[in-house]
Chain A
Amino acid sequence: MQTPAPFEYERATSVEGAIAALERLGSDARIIAGGHSLLPMMKLRLASPEYLIDINDLAELAYIREQDGEIRIGAMTRHVDLLKSELLARRFPLFRDAETVIADPVVRNRGTIGGSLCQADAAEDLSAVCSAAKAQVVIRGAEGERVVGMEDFHVGPFMTAVGAGEILTEVRLRMRRGAGSGHEKVERRAGDWAIAAASAALWVDGGTIDDVGIALSAVGVTTIHLTRAEELLRGKPPSDELFAQAGVIASEDCSPSADGRGPIDYKRHLAGVLTQRALRRSAARALSEEA
C-alpha cells in the first residue's frame, strides 16, 4: 500500500465552518473534496498537508440548476452528475463530451467540479471546458463572495485565484442563444489523462460567430486560452477554412513539453487537429440550435 504522511482530519458541516477552519489552521490545511487529485499526491508524498478539511458533507454545494439566465453548478457536484445532466447536455454539450472521457466511473463518482478547477492541473479537462464556455466562478471567504471569470481564475501552474481562507462554491454559465460547443481529447487509453484536448464553444447569430471560446488542456503549464484564435473567428461566418486557420494558431500558441505521452511536435499537431474538430463540432451544434 502507498501510505501518506501523518495528517489531522476534520469534517466540515457548513461552508462557513470550512472557511473558519481554513482561517484557523492556515496554510497547512487543505480542503478535500473528491480526493482524486489530492489523495494520490499525498500517497506519493508529493503533498503532505497537516490538516484536511473534508467538505463532502456539504450537500448544499452539490447541484446543477437554472437561475437568472444561468446554469449554476455547485462546487461539490460530482463528475457523474455533470455527465448525466440533461440541462448541461442541451445547453453546453461539451460537458458531456468531456465527462465521457474523464477518468473512469470510480473516479467520476467521487471527483468534483470544484476540485477539478482548484487543482488547476493543466492536463485536466474541466478547466478547458469552463474556459471555453466562458464560465464564472464564485469564491467565498470570511468577508463574503466574489465572482471571477475563468480568464482570471488560473494564475499559474496549480495556482488559482482562490486565496487563503477561501473556497470555491459555484460555477456559473450564462445561457445565450445560438450556442454550440464541443470537447475533443486524445488519450493513450480510456481513463488516461489527455495527450492533448481542446474545448470550444460558439455562439452564432444570424450566420456569423457572435462570440467564441477556445481552450486547450495538457499542452502548456496552465490551461491555454486561445485568445488569438477567438479574435480571428469573431464576427465571421463559421467555415472549415476558418477553423483550419484556428487550428494553425492553436499549434503555434500552445507550449507543450515532451513526456511519456508524446514529443512536442506531436502535441502541437494534436492541438491543431483537436481545435479544428472541436470547432467543427461546436458549429454543427450551434447551427442546428439556431435553426
Chain B
Amino acid sequence: MAVVENLPSPSTERPIGFGRLKRKEDARFIRGKGTYLDDIELPGMVHGAVLRSPYAHARIVSIDTSAALAHPNVAAVVTAKDLETLGLAWMPTISYDTQAVLAGDKVRFQGQEVAFVIATDEYSANDALALIDVEYDPLPAVVNARKALDADAPLIRDDKSGQADNLASPTWEAGDERATERAFAEADHVVSRDMIYPRCHPAPLETCGIIADFNPETGQLDIYNGNQAPHAHRTVYAHVAGLAEHMIRIRCQDIGGGFGNKVPVYPGYVCAIAGSIVAGVPVKWVENRSENLMSTGFARDYIMRGEMCSKDGKITGLRVDAIADHGAFDSTAQPTKFPAGFFHIVCGSYDLQASHVKVKAVYSNKAPGGVAYRCSFRVTEAVYLVERMVDALALEMKADPIDLRMRSFIAAEQFPYETTTGWTYDSGEYAKTMDVAKKIAGYDDLRREQAEKRARGELMGIGVSFFTEGVGAGPRKHMDILGLAMNDGADLRVHPSGKAVVSISAQTQGQGHETTFAQIVAEELGIPPEDVEVRHGDTDKSPYGLGTYGSRSTPVSGGAVAVVSRKVRDKARMIAATMLETRPEDLAWEKGRWYVKGDPEKGAMIEDIAARAYSGEPMPADFEGGLDAQVIYDPPNLTYPYGAYIAVVDIDPDTGHVKVRRFIAVDDCGVRINPMVVDGQIHGGLAEGVGIALMELISFDEEGNCLNSSFMDYLIPTALECPDFELGETVTPCPHHPLGAKGVGESPTVGSPPAIVNAVIDALYEPHGVEHIDMPCTPARVWAAMQGRPEPPQ
C-alpha cells in the first residue's frame, strides 16, 4: 500500500511489536488524502435534506409539500405519512424506546425531523425546504428537567400508551441504602453539593451522513456511513426496514471523529435508506453543522446531588441522587441492563464503608441523545461528582485534597476489589500514581507559590482529580445492547509470504487502530507491524462485533486480536514441528520463530512456516493447511484504568477569565501497546476536558430554542486554551486481559473536568467563599460566582 511506502524504511529503531511507532494512517491524513463520506460520489446519486421543526413542542396541523414538489430539481418529498405506509415512521432507539423518524403527530424538540426532500443536488434539496408549508400549533415546552415531573408539566410522549407523565425510566438504584445511612450517622464530617454536568455535544468535525444505495435488481442495500458500530447498525437496519441482514453491506470510510456521536442510528439515515429503496437510486444525505449540534446525540445532562462523609480522617460514605435529562426520546447509549450506564462507579477510587446511588430519568423537549461522549457510559458524570465531592469534603475537613485521597484510596493489596456498588476493580496502585503526579507538579512548591500570590491578591488554583473508570464493555453474561452481546471478533490470515491481514469488528474514528492492532499481531507473531494490514469498516469483510466506543477497542478487540494471534502461533507450532521433524511440545517460541528446545540454532521463522502452510509439502496429520484463525472474544471483566490529574489555573480577578496554566496527567492504563498513540489519545481527551470545563454548553431558552447551534455559539477549545500537557505514567497490568492492557481513550475526558473545576474552586474559595461552580467556567459565570451568585447553566 502507498501508505507504507511513504513511511521511513524499516530500521532497528522501529519496534517489532509494542513501542512508539508513528501511525500508519497519518500518511494519508496529513496529506489530505483520507476518504470521508462526503468524498464519495456514486453514479446517478441524488441528495437529501431534512426539514426541521422550529418549535420545541408543537402539534403538527398540516404539511403541504406541493410547492416543494413543483421545484424542477426535486424528485420526492417524504413525510411521516409516507413512512407509515412503509412501517418506518418510528424506529427503536438503542435504549428500547421509540423515536419518530419523521414527526407526524407532534414535534418534540427544536430541530426534530419533519420532512425529507430528495433532489438532484444538495443546493436544490436545501432550497426546497423553504417551500414546504407546515402549520404548527405550539405547545408549552418542558426545558427544565427538575420540573419535568411537576403535575402541570405538559405530557411529551403522548405517543406511548400508558405514559401519563414525563418519567423516561423508573428510579434505578445501586449500593446499600441502610448501610449508607449508618455510615453517615457515624461520620465526623458530612458535606453535600448540588451540581450539574451540563449538556454538551461531541461535535465531531465531520458531521453525520449516509449514502444509501439500494439495488432493485438484486435486493442488495449498500450503505456508506461513518459510524462507530457498523455490524450493530446492520442488524438494526435489518430489524427496522425488514431487510435481509445478509443483503445489507455497510462500509465506513475514514471517519472524521465520532466521540459517541456516531453510535446511534439517526432519522436521516432511515430516510435516505427509505428514499433509495423507493427511488432505486443512491441517496446521499450529509447534515450540516447546525443540524449536528441541534439534533444528534448530545452528552451528559445530569442533575446531581451528592453527599459525602468521613470518619477518622478517611472518606467513608457517599450518597447520590441524580436526574438524567434524556430529551424527547430515550436514546442513551448503554448496555441494556444498565439504564444509568456505569454511573454507579461513582464510588470512585476509595475504600468506602457504604454508598448508595439513585438515578431517575425524565423526558424533556430537547434533542435526544445521552451518548457517551468520550465516556464509558456515564463514568464521566460519576467521576466528576465523586471528585468534586472529595474536594468539598477536604474543604470541610480543612484537609489537603491529596492527603485526603491518599488516606482513603483502595490499597494495592486489596485488588481485586469489590466496590460498594458491585464492581470488581481488577488492579491498581493508586497511591503510587498519585505520588508521580505530585512530583511532576511540584505540588508543595505550587502551594507555596499560591500562598504568595494570594497575599498579593492574585487568584491561582490547584486542582486534583483521581479517577477510576470501568471500560471495555463487556462480559456477555452482564452486558448487551439490543440483545447483542458486547463481544468482538478477529480474523487473522498469514499469507504464504508471511504478510498478514487481520480483520476486526472495532471501527476507528481516529484512534489509530490501523497501527495499534497491527502492533498486537506483530508482537505476538514477531513480524514487523508494516507487514500486518488491519481491515475494518466493511461488514462484508470483517467479523461480527460491537464496534468502538466506551474505550472498548483495546480491552475487547485488542483481546480478540491477541487471542487470534496466539491461535495462529499455535498452528504455526504444529507446522514447524513437521518442518523440523520434531514434536510440537519440543519447540520453544521467541519473537518470530519456533525453535527446538536444546538446539536453538534449529528453528523456523514465521515466514517459512507460512510458506510451508500453503505448500505441497507434508503437513501435520489432520491439518487442513493455511495459517489463519478466527475468534470471538468475550472479556471476563471490564478493565479499570485510572489516573491522577493536577490542574493549575490562574484567574483574572477583574474579568473572571480562567487560564489553565499547567496540566499534569499521570495515567495508568496497564500495558501500553503504542505509547505514542496513548499520548495522542490523552492529549486529545485533555483538550476536550478543557473545553467541557471552560466553554462547551448546549443550552436552551424557556421556549426550548437551542442556543448553541453553530461553532460561533458552541465553542470547542483551541491550542491556545490548552497548556503544554505534562504526561506521566505508571503501569499496572490488567490481570485478565491477554495483553495486560486497559482502555485509555476516554480517561483524559473523564478525569480532567473535575481537576479544572477543583482548581477554580481552590482559587476562589479563600478569597471569595465560592464553594461550587457549575461548568462551563466561562468568564461571566466565574465572575458571577465571585460576586456570590453562582448560577447553574440554563
A residues within 8 Å of B by Cβ? 1-3, 5-6, 40, 44, 104, 186, 188-193, 195, 260-263, 266, 269-270, 273
Alpha-carbon gap, A270 to B655, bound state (A): 6
Bound-complex Cα distance A260 to B713 (A): 7
Bound together, the chains give a CA A24 to CA B794 distance in angstroms of: 49
- How many angstroms between the C-alpha atoms of A257 and B585 in the bound complex? 80
CB within 8 A of B780: which of A3, A261, A273?
A261
Query: How far apart are A180's CB and chain B's nearest CB, in angstroms?
Result: 21
**B156 CB to nearest A CB, Å:** 25
Interface positions of B from 13 to 64, Cβ below 8 Å from A: 38
Cβ contacts under 8 Å, A2 to chain B: 288-290
Interchain residue pairs A-B with the least CB separation, the first 7: A262-B780, A190-B720, A2-B288, A3-B126, A273-B654, A266-B780, A189-B715
> Which one, A5, A44, A190, A263, contacts B721 given CB within 8 A?
A190
If A262-B778, A263-B784, A266-B784 touch, does A190 touch B718 (CB 8 Å cutoff)? Answer: yes
Q: Hey, which chain B residues are within 8 Å of A269, CB to CB?
A: 783
Whole-angstrom distance between the Cβ of B133 and the nearest chain A Cβ: 17
Contacts of A260 in B (CB 8 A): 697, 699, 707-708, 713
> Does any Cβ of A come within 8 Å of B779's Cβ?
yes
Contact of A189 among B127, B289, B695 (CB under 8 A): B695
A-chain residues with CB within 8 Å of residue B657 when the two chains form the complex:
186
Alpha-carbon gap, A276 to B288, bound state (A): 42
- 13 A-B pairs (CB sep. < 8 Å): A1-B288, A6-B127, A104-B718, A186-B657, A191-B718, A191-B720, A260-B707, A262-B778, A263-B784, A269-B783, A270-B655, A273-B654, A273-B655
Q: Which residues of A contact B710 (CB under 8 A)?
A: 44
Query: Is B245 engaged at the interface, CB distance under 8 Å to the other chain?
Result: no
- Beta-carbon nearest neighbor of A2 in chain B: B288
Q: Encode B761-783 as 1/0 by CB contact (under 8 A) with A.
A: 00000000000000000111001
Residues of B within 8 A of A6 (CB): 123, 127
Look across to chain B and name the residue whose beta carbon is closest to the beta carbon of A258: B780
Give me 18 other A-B pairs in contact (C-beta within 8 A), A3-B126, A260-B697, A260-B699 excluded. A2-B289, A3-B127, A3-B288, A104-B718, A188-B778, A188-B779, A189-B717, A189-B720, A189-B721, A190-B720, A191-B720, A195-B779, A260-B708, A262-B778, A262-B779, A262-B780, A263-B784, A266-B779
| Residue from A3, A40, A193, A195 having most chain B Cβ neighbours under 10 A | A3
| Bound: A223/B655 CA distance, A | 21
Give chain B residues whose Cβ lies under 8 Å from the Cβ of A263.
780, 784
Q: Nearest chain A CB to B751's CB is how many angstroms away?
A: 22
Tell me, rounded to whole Å, the shortest Cβ–Cβ distance linking B773 to chain A: 14
Known: A260-B707, A263-B780. A3 touches B123 (CB 8 A): yes
Q: Once the chains are docked, how many angstroms separate the CA of A44 from the CA of B721?
A: 28
> CA of A262 to CA of B781 in the docked complex: distance in angstroms?
7
- Complex partner residue of B127 from A5, A44, A191, A261, CB under 8 angstroms: A5
For A262, list chain B residues within 8 Å (CB).
778-780, 783
CB distance from B604 to the nearest CB of A (A): 56
B647 at the interface (CB under 8 A from A): no
| A191–B655 alpha-carbon span in the complex (Å) | 18
Is B608 interfacial (CB 8 A cutoff)?
A: no
**B interface residues (Cβ-Cβ under 8 A, vs A):** 38, 122-123, 126-127, 286, 288-290, 654-657, 694-695, 697, 699, 707-708, 710, 712-713, 715, 717-718, 720-721, 778-780, 783-784
| Given A44-B710, A260-B708, CB of A189 within 8 Å of CB of B718 | yes
- Across the interface, name the chain A residue whose C-beta is closest to B715: A189
Instruction: Give every chain A residue within 8 A of B784 (Cβ-Cβ).
Output: 263, 266
Smallest Cβ-Cβ distance to B657: which chain A residue = A186
Closest approach, in angstroms, between the C-beta of A38 and any C-beta of chain B? 15
Cβ-Cβ contact count across A and B, 8 Å cutoff: 65
Residues of A contacting B288 with CB < 8 Å?
Answer: 1-3
- B83 to chain A minimum Cβ distance, whole angstroms, is 25
Closest residue on chain B to residue A104 by CB atoms: B718
Shortest distance between the CB of B607 and any CB in chain A (Å): 48
Chain A residues with CB under 8 Å of B715's CB are: 188-189, 192
B658 shortest CB reach to chain A, Å: 10
Taken together as a complex, chains A and B put the C-alpha atoms of A158 and B710 apart, in Å, by 21
Return B458 CB to nearest CB of chain A, in Å. Answer: 16
A1 near B286 with CB under 8 A, answer: yes
Query: Which A residue sits closest to B709, measured CB to CB?
Result: A44
Q: How far is the CA of A272 from the CA of B720 in the complex (A)?
A: 26
Q: Which residue of chain B has its CB nearest to the CB of A40? A: B712
Known contacts: A260-B707, A270-B655. The answer to whether A195 contacts B123 by CB under 8 A is: no
Query: In the complex, A263 Cα to B712 Cα: how many Å?
Result: 18
**Distance A190 CA – B691 CA, assembled complex (angstroms):** 12
CA A186 – CA B780 in complex, angstroms?
10
Across the interface, which residues of B come within 8 angstroms of A191, CB to CB?
Answer: 718, 720
Residues of B with C-beta under 8 A to A40: 712
| Smallest beta-carbon distance B276→chain A, Å | 20
Residue of B nearest to A269 (CB): B783
CA gap between A6 and B286 in the complex, in Å: 19
Q: How far is the CA of A40 from the CA of B656 in the complex (A)?
A: 30
Q: What's the minimum C-beta distance from B199 to chain A, rounded to whole angstroms? A: 14
Quote the shortest CB–CB distance from A46 to chain B (angstroms). 11
Q: Whole-angstrom distance between the alpha carbons of A234 and B432 in the complex?
A: 64
- A54 and B654 alpha carbons, distance in the complex (Å): 43
A24 to B721, CA, bound (A): 48
Chain B residues in 8 Å Cβ range of A104: 718
For A188, A192, A261, which residue has the most chain B Cβ atoms within 10 angstroms? A188
* Complex CA–CA separation, A269 to B654 (angstroms): 9
A40 vs B289: C-alpha distance in the bound complex, in angstroms? 12
**Which B residue sits closest to A261, measured CB to CB?**
B780
CB neighbours (8 Å) of B286 from chain A are 1
Closest to A184 in B: B655
Q: For A186, give its contact among B122, B695, B707, B779 (CB under 8 Å).
A: B779
Taken together as a complex, chains A and B put the C-alpha atoms of A188 and B780 apart, in Å, by 9
Which of B38, B654, B697, B707: most chain A Cβ within 10 A? B654
- B254 → A minimal CB distance (Å): 17
Best-buried of B707, B778, B779, B780 by chain A (most CB within 10 Å): B780
Q: Out of A3, A186, A190, A193, which one reaches B655, CB within 8 Å? A: A186
Give the distance to chain A from B125, nearest Cβ to Cβ, in Å: 9
The listed residue with most B CB atoms (<10 A of its CB), out of A1, A104, A261, A270, is A1
A191 to B654, CA, bound (A): 21
Q: Check if A188 sits within 8 Å of B695, measured CB to CB.
A: yes
Complex contacts, A189 vs chain B, CB 8 Å: 694-695, 715, 717-718, 720-721
In Å, the complex CA distance between A191 and B716 comes to: 11
Q: How far is the CA of A65 from the CA of B778 in the complex (A)?
A: 40
- Least Cβ–Cβ distance between B205 and chain A, in angstroms: 13
Q: Nearest-CB distance from A273 to chain B (Å)?
A: 5
With both chains docked as a complex, state the minimum distance between the C-beta of B311 and any C-beta of chain A, in angstroms. Answer: 42
CB B586 to nearest CB in A, in angstroms, measures 64
C-alpha spacing A5/B130, complex, angstroms? 10
Please give me the residue from chain A that is nearest to B707 by CB atom: A260
Whose C-beta in chain A lies nearest to the C-beta of B783?
Answer: A266
CB proximity of B192 to chain A, nearest CB, Å:
27
Residue of A nearest to B708 (CB): A260
Specify the chain B residue showing the minimal Cβ separation from A1. Answer: B288
Judging by beta carbons under 8 Å apart, are A1 and B122 in contact?
A: yes
A135 to chain B, nearest CB (A): 27
What residues of chain A lie closer than 8 Å to B713, measured between beta carbons?
Answer: 260
Compute how far the CA of A224 lies from the CA of B290 in the bound complex, rounded to whole angstroms: 32
B697 and chain A: residue at smallest CB distance: A260
Q: Please, which residues of chain B bring their CB within 8 A of the CB of A5?
A: 127
CB distance from B688 to the nearest CB of A (A): 14
- Chain A residues contacting B656 (CB-CB under 8 Å) are 266
Complex Cα gap A2–B294 (Å): 14
Query: Nearest Cβ distance between residue B655 and chain A, in whole angstroms?
Result: 5
- CB contacts (< 8 Å) of B126 on chain A: these are 3
A188 to B720, CA, bound (A): 12
Residue numbers in B under 8 Å from A195 (CB-CB): 779-780
* Complexed CA–CA distance, A5 and B125 (Å): 11
Nearest-neighbor residue (CB-CB) of B721 within chain A: A189
Residues of A within 8 A of B695 (CB): 188-189
